[in-house]
Chains A and B, each alone.
Chain A
Amino acid sequence: MSFRKFAVLLFGFLGVAAALDLKLPKDDKSVRFAIIGDNGTGEKRQYDVADQMVKWHDAFPFDFALMLGDNIYGGKTAADFKLKFEDPYKKLMDSGVKFYASLGNHDDSNERYYKPFNMDGKRYYSFKKGNVTFFALDSTYMSPDQLQWIDDQLKSSDATWKICYFHHPLYSDGKFHGPDLDLRRRLEPIFLRDGVKVVFTGHEHVYERLRPQKGINYFVLGNSGELRVHNLRKSRDTAKGFDTDCGFGLIEISGTQMYYQIVSRTGATIDSGSIDLGANAPASASASAP
Chain B
Amino acid sequence: MAACAVALYGQTPQVNAGAALLEDFSKRVAAYAAIHKKARAEVHPLKPTANPEAIEKYEHHLAHRIRELRKNFVQGAIFTPEIGAEFGRLIKQAMQGATGPRVQASLKHAEPVRLPALHVGSSYPEHVPLQSTPPSVLANLPKLPPEVEYRVVGNALVLRDVDANLIVDFIRNVIP
Q: Which residues of A contact B (CB under 8 A)?
A: 74-78, 80-82, 105-116, 119-121, 139-145, 147, 168, 177-183, 185-186
Q: Are the CB atoms of B48 and A120 closer together than 8 Å?
A: yes
B131 within 8 A of A: yes
Residues on A with beta carbons closer than 8 Å to the beta carbon of B133: 140-141
Q: Which residues of B contact A (CB under 8 A)?
A: 46-53, 55-56, 58-59, 99, 102-103, 105-106, 109-111, 126-127, 129-136, 138-139, 143, 149, 162-163, 165
Q: Are the CB atoms of B48 and A106 closer together than 8 Å?
A: no
Closest chain A residue, CB of each to CB of B137: A182
A sample of 14 more A-B contacts (CB under 8 A), given A110-B46, A139-B132, A168-B110, is: A78-B53, A80-B52, A82-B52, A109-B162, A113-B55, A114-B48, A140-B131, A141-B132, A144-B138, A144-B139, A182-B99, A182-B102, A183-B106, A186-B135
Q: Are the CB atoms of A114 and B106 closer together than 8 Å?
A: no
Q: Are the CB atoms of A78 and B162 closer together than 8 Å?
A: no
With A and B bound together, what is the CA distance between A185 and B110 in angstroms? 15
With A and B bound together, what is the CA distance between A142 and B141 in angstroms? 13
- CB within 8 Å for A110 and B109 given contacts A75-B126, A140-B130: no
B14 CB to nearest A CB, Å: 24
Residues on A with beta carbons closer than 8 Å to the beta carbon of B106: 180-183
B109 touches which of A74, A111, A116, A168 (Cβ 8 Å): A168
Closest chain B residue, CB of each to CB of A186: B135
Q: Are the CB atoms of B49 and A115 closer together than 8 Å?
A: yes
Residues on A with beta carbons closer than 8 Å to the beta carbon of B56: 76-78
- CB within 8 Å for A177 and B109 given contacts A78-B56, A108-B126, A185-B102: yes
A114 touches which of B55, B109, B126, B130 (Cβ 8 Å): B55
Q: Are the CB atoms of B126 and A144 closer together than 8 Å?
A: no
Q: Are the CB atoms of A113 and B49 closer together than 8 Å?
A: yes
Residues on B with beta carbons closer than 8 Å to the beta carbon of A183: 106, 132, 134-135
Chosen A-B contacts, 14 in total, with CB atoms closer than 8 Å, are: A74-B127, A76-B126, A80-B52, A82-B52, A109-B130, A115-B49, A121-B46, A143-B135, A144-B143, A178-B105, A182-B135, A182-B136, A185-B102, A186-B136
Closest chain B residue, CB of each to CB of A81: B52
B139 CB to nearest A CB, Å: 5
